[in-house]
Amino acid sequence: MQDEMPIRKIIHVDMDAFYASVEQLDNPELRGKAIAVGGSSARGVVSAASYEARKFGVRSAMSGAVARKLCPQLIFVKTNFDRYKEVSKQIRTIFFEYTDLVEPLSLDEAYLDVTENKKGNPSATMIATEIRKKIKEKTGLNASAGISMNKFVAKIASDINKPNGQKTIGPEDVVPFLETLDVKKFYGVGKVTKEKMYRLGIFTGMDLKGKSIEFLEENFGKSGGFYYNVVRGIHNSKVKPSRTQKSLAAEHTFSENISSEIFMLERLEEIAAEVEKRLHKSKLAGKTVTLKIKYRDFTLQTRSKTLPLFIASKELILDVVKELLFQEKMKESVRLLGISISNLNNETPKKKQVPKESIDVQLKLEF
Ligand SMILES: [Mg+2]
């Protein structure tokens, strides 16, 4: 069946140090300097680090305190999601000049299927070069790209010549490339899985290929089948346009029902930290905070508040959650608490209900 799949041309575009580069673009005094976006508050986390800061080991998702220790001259800059979103939109407009099959992964990353493209250009490599050039012209920012026959390999490839570079891995090169690749570079293999693979003697794609599907499923569950296939160049996941996440949440079920708000607050702090972590991972922020309360009798209550700006930090989320928590007395003891963030910064503003064409028609009829 595999042979019947037409070979696809997939580009993964990834902006270089996106938030930090936008800040350096907008504030010339920050250029060439070690900067961190976010992380300035007492327990804040770095959202992005400039390449100058990365030389000191500063990374995103690192606590601001640790980052400051690694790089004392580090300049902390506040996040400005509205601005990042604006740039992200400019970039997507460029993508749509080539194809409608665009799947954003975050504000600064997307997969494009250019197998059939609007320019009729048979070379995905040339398209990637053009797109990166246009992004630079339009936004002043650098992007990197990976080009291959599936999303999995394209994603890995975009990292190879980063920053400001691209890498094509053609159909014949996919399997040899994966065979020599360290499994830690496989997309989807996190720290824990990497360690487990190493323990099992799986260090490279070649080692992975030597294992049976039964062995891999036994050790890695459902992902085992995924690893078995991708290392053979098989990854049929389509580029899914308009995959927009609507909300992001975390919750905690108590082993015993609780009724003390102070105790709830402690748990909510942990849940908010988890939400912050997930927002970071998806590079998202949101305007609406919802507190979910499930009581002992299983009735569910939600309380929410919408803010005028996007937030992503644990502290700000918790501020709103506290307000919602003390807004009214609990009905009875609580068995589950959850926090969700919606109105995310990945949503394009809602279009008016009536499409432009029909407005034109209406006007014509009326006049
Ligand atoms: Mg990026």
Distances (CA, A) of 46 to 2, 50, 67, 273: 43, 11, 8, 14
Rounded Cα–Cα distance for residues 1 and 276 (Å): 43
Ligand 1 centre to CA of 98 (Å) is 21
Residue 186: DSSP 8-state: S
Contacts of 339 (CB under 8 A, 6+ apart): 249, 250, 251, 268, 271, 272, 275, 289, 290, 291, 292, 317, 321
What is the residue-averaged pLDDT of the chain? 89
Q: Cα torsion at 265, 268, 269, 273 (round to 10°)?
A: 180
Which residues lie at CB < 5 A from ion ligand 1? Answer: 14-15, 18, 108
The CATH number of domain 247-344, selected from 3.50.50.60, 3.40.190.10, 3.30.1490.100, 3.40.50.10490: 3.30.1490.100
The beta-carbon contacts of 192-199 under 8 Å, at least 24 apart in sequence, are: 193/220, 193/223, 196/220
How is residue 311 written in tokens? 């937030």
173-230: CATH number? 1.10.150.20
pLDDT for residue 21: 97
Structural contact between residues 317 and 341, judged by C-beta atoms closer than 8 angstroms: yes
Per the listing, tokens 């050039």 go with 133
Q: Distance from the CA of 54 to the center of ligand 1, in angstroms?
A: 14
Tokens for 251?
């919750």
Q: Is 13's pLDDT higher than 70? A: yes
Expressed in angstroms and rounded, the spacing between residue 180 Cα and the centre of ligand 1 is 25
Please check whether residue 265 is in contact with residue 322, taking contact to mean a CB–CB distance below 8 angstroms: yes
Write out the E strands in 164-281. 166-168, 247-258
Q: What residue type is 302 in one-letter code?
A: T
How many A from CA of 15 to the centre of ligand 1?
4
Q: Which of 216-225, 240-249, 264-273 has the lowest mean pLDDT?
A: 240-249
Q: What is the mean pLDDT of residues 326-335?
A: 86
What is the fold of 18-80? Answer: MutS, DNA mismatch repair protein, domain I (3.40.1170)
| Predicted model pTM | 0.71
Q: State which of 187-191, 319-323, 347-351 shows the largest mean pLDDT.
A: 319-323
Looking at the chain, the domain(s) classified CATH 1.10.150.20 span: 173-230
Q: Across the chain, which distance is largest between two alpha carbons, in Å? A: 77
pLDDT for 16-63, tens place per residue? 999 999 999 999 999 999 999 998 887 788 999 999 999 999 998 899
β-pair partners for 49:
36
Average pLDDT over residues 190-203: 95
Ligand 1 center to 330 CA (angstroms): 43
Catalytic sites, residue numbers: 109
Report d(CA 161, CA 339) in Å as an integer. 39
The predicted-structure confidence for 132-159, as pLDDT tens digits, reads as follows 999 999 999 999 999 999 999 999 999 9
Which is it for the CA torsion 144, 132, 108, 61, positive or negative?
A: positive
Rounded to the nearest angstrom, the distance between the alpha carbon of 18 and the centre of ligand 1 is: 5
3-state helix, strand, coil in the chain (%, to 5): 40, 20, 35
CB atoms within 10 A of CB 140: 13
48 C-alpha to ligand 1 centroid (Å): 9
pLDDT band at 180; cut points 50, 70, 90: very high
What residue ranges in the chain does DSSP mark as E strands? 10-15, 35-37, 48-49, 75-77, 102-106, 109-113, 143-148, 166-168, 247-258, 286-295, 300-311, 334-344
**95 pLDDT higher than 60:** yes
Q: Which three-class secondary structure state does DSSP give residue 236? A: coil
Give me the helix-helix angle, 261-281 and 314-325, nearest 10°. Answer: 140
Give span(s): CATH 3.30.1490.100, the chain: 247-344
Distance from the alpha carbon of residue 339 to the mean position of ligand 1, in angstroms: 27
Work out the burial of residue 311: count CB atoms within 10 Å of its CB; fewer than 13 is exposed, 13-18 middle, 19 or more buried: buried
